[in-house]
Structure 1
């Protein structure tokens, strides 16, 4: 099998330092810049540079050895993305692709600094698109992810996921610790939307209702109902099963209960957890959502007003 991969040298390194905190492995992340010195994206890695320890100093290092002091222009905690500004000229840039054009089976190249090993490159394929945060188990992010089997390790977070033309199609963000060959990246189209708001000094809205859920089908319901350890029964229908309601959340305020099955949002059929997440994300904070809910043998309509995702709810 033969294929061509375009060589790019436009990836830069970023080191964050906090005067009170020495983070493991030097907290070196991968980012890229535009010609105006705007470092477009930076992601922290849980356990390395958490947002409770926002960097006081940022140093950006280019492949040619030049270093620049950076200034954080904006950050979005739920997505672990930030925009950093540097002053420089003749800056290399990594071309941005479109995650909308990515297909399962495409080549995927991950670049990063795993375990402090700078400029590590791994190769794989795109395994799945639109993997929801609930499926991934990343409950503090409200995003859909690109799944890849390109090796991603601690320290890769913030590094680009590239296609074979060297275009950035995603930002490496997470792995499944209990498995190999299962890594996740934020699609570049979503990252660009967040970046645009941060550059304008705007807050990125993250509406949430405060439930943990799974997609319910008649088959899944039978498994639940036959499992003595499930401590939950469910009707054998298609919908979104609420397995937990967060205390003091919009869902709790709206009367949603554990064991409810959501089947519609604002009159639109909603039968998967991904559909419910998408409709909540597309909603406006504080504006009512009408949910059709199956509770036992009864069907009722409840109103929930999404709120801004807060750290306390993660």
Structure 2
């Protein structure tokens, strides 16, 4: 019995050995039939940048990776601009007010003593942090207005460790842009190259550089998600902006830093404005900053014309839904245009006689179909300019003359 078991084991071993030898022979035959030359790269198929073709005509997949030789395009872009990106630290003093009237009660003060009461803190120092980038060798830094608003002290730190005192030369809250001048600059500084935001397209690469949540010199990568995202859509109707939307991560501390294209040019100013946003960031187009930066450097106030209405885009379908709703506040014409939802008191619109429920269809003979179109048109006018506004009021068409006012005066 043991002899039979031993013979059976030998047969199994012989079978496995034969299978192994057969595999070696087949492999050698394949290599002889398809020789591989070490160090020789298969030529590229001219019809596609992502496919290589072997001598026998067998396509070999290649990964599509945007690169510039041995250095990635992201590295090249950041190396071009990174030294011009700065961290901005701010401090401001606020007066602490005692909301409890007990502190002002004479009996309370007599019981606890005026000296103890006087030692209670009356002022508090608040610190903030953001980003910016140098746009002129003399030390002009562009950033967000909300980064430096109300600051008593501004400190600017460069990537190489140099620290400068900064002075806010000008700020415009409506566009959320500000200019800071570095003090004590004795030699040339690195400067960021400004691009053209009008040439940006959806799907382009987007590189955000800044100091999010105190983490200096942070770089994130994404694409341009959409263009002309109005400030009303973003949730800040008091601004006058059409944002660049990107999925590159933008967090608190990124505000004021540059958004770059693949060539390392600044196409936007990052603005962290939506705490509830996940994977969505917004940037002010750089051309918006170019239009007013010189005035901010000179310390001039930027005038913004306005009408004084709250408005929404109206379509026949939306108007019909409103009119068949028994709870609707008013009926509206079932046409395309801009519906006046509210006329603010003591504004140019109120003085001109615009009413709630009016549908604006033209301004100076130009058709108006969307609310952001009307806002852009008004923003492009001068303060005090007269506009001929065509409105549909119930079943009548009326011409109303409106003279634009200055937005700051409405505050």
TM above 0.5, yes or no, is yes
Aligned pair partner of 1:43 in 144, 161, 182: 144
Which range is displaced more, 104-113 or 262-271?
104-113
Larger Rg: 2
Shift in alpha-carbon separation, 1:312–1:35, aligned structure 2, 3 A: closer
Unaligned 5+ segments in structure 1 are none
Which residue is equivalent to 1:75?
171
Structure 1 distance, partners of 2:390, 2:396, is 11
Instruction: Tell whether the 8 Å contact from 1:15 to 1:29 is kept in structure 2 after alignment.
Output: yes
Shift in alpha-carbon separation, 1:247–1:50, aligned structure 2, 3 A: farther
- Deviation of 1:32 (Å): 1.1
Task: Give per-residue Cα distances to partners, 1:80-130, cap 9 Å, x unaligned.
Answer: 211111132231122111101101111112223333333332222112212
SS of residue matched to 1:279: helix
Which residue is equivalent to 1:30?
131
Instruction: Tell whether the 8 Å contact from 2:305 to 2:406 is kept in structure 1 after alignment.
Output: yes
Q: Does 1:251 align with 2:325?
A: no
**Which structure has the higher relative contact order (CA within 8 Å, separation 6+)?**
1
Shift in alpha-carbon separation, 1:311–1:181, aligned structure 2, 3 A: farther
Q: Does 1:2 align with 2:103?
A: no
Aligned pair partner of 1:183 in 259, 267, 281: 281
Instruction: Tell whether the 8 Å contact from 1:107 to 1:123 is kept in structure 2 after alignment.
Output: yes
Question: What does 1:65-214 correspond to in 2, within 5 Å?
Answer: 65-86=161-182, 87-88=184-185, 89-214=187-312
SS of residue matched to 1:72: strand
Structure 2 distance, partners of 1:229, 1:150, is 43
Structure 2 distance, partners of 1:109, 1:228, is 50
Instruction: Tell whether the 8 Å contact from 2:229 to 2:244 is kept in structure 1 after alignment.
Output: yes
Task: Give per-residue Cα distances to partners, 1:139-182, cap 9 Å, x unaligned.
Answer: 11112211112222233221211112221100122444444233
SS of residue matched to 2:195: coil
Instruction: Tell whether the 8 Å contact from 1:33 to 1:40 is kept in structure 2 after alignment.
Output: yes
Structure 1 distance, partners of 2:148, 2:329, is 35
Structure 2 distance, partners of 1:222, 1:110, is 44
- Deviation of 1:266 (Å): 1.0
- Deviation of 1:64 (Å): 0.6
Shift in alpha-carbon separation, 1:201–1:79, aligned structure 2, 3 A: same
Structure 2 distance, partners of 1:244, 1:121, is 43
Aligned-residue Cα RMSD (Å) equals: 2.1
Q: If the length of structure 2 is used for normalisation, what is the TM-score?
A: 0.70
Which residue is equivalent to 2:359?
261
Shift in alpha-carbon separation, 1:284–1:189, aligned structure 2, 3 A: same
Q: Identify, as 1 or 2, the structure richer in helix.
A: 2
Unaligned 5+ segments in structure 2 are 1-63, 67-72, 95-123
Which residue is equivalent to 1:274?
372
Instruction: Tell whether the 8 Å contact from 1:73 to 1:198 is kept in structure 2 after alignment.
Output: yes
Which residue is equivalent to 1:11?
85
Which residue is equivalent to 1:56?
152
Q: Does 1:299 align with 2:373?
A: no
Structure 2 distance, partners of 1:151, 1:259, is 41
Structure 1 distance, partners of 2:243, 2:264, is 20
Which residue is equivalent to 1:220?
318
Q: How many residues align?
A: 306
Structure 1 distance, partners of 2:272, 2:308, is 22
Q: If the length of structure 1 is used for normalisation, what is the TM-score?
A: 0.90
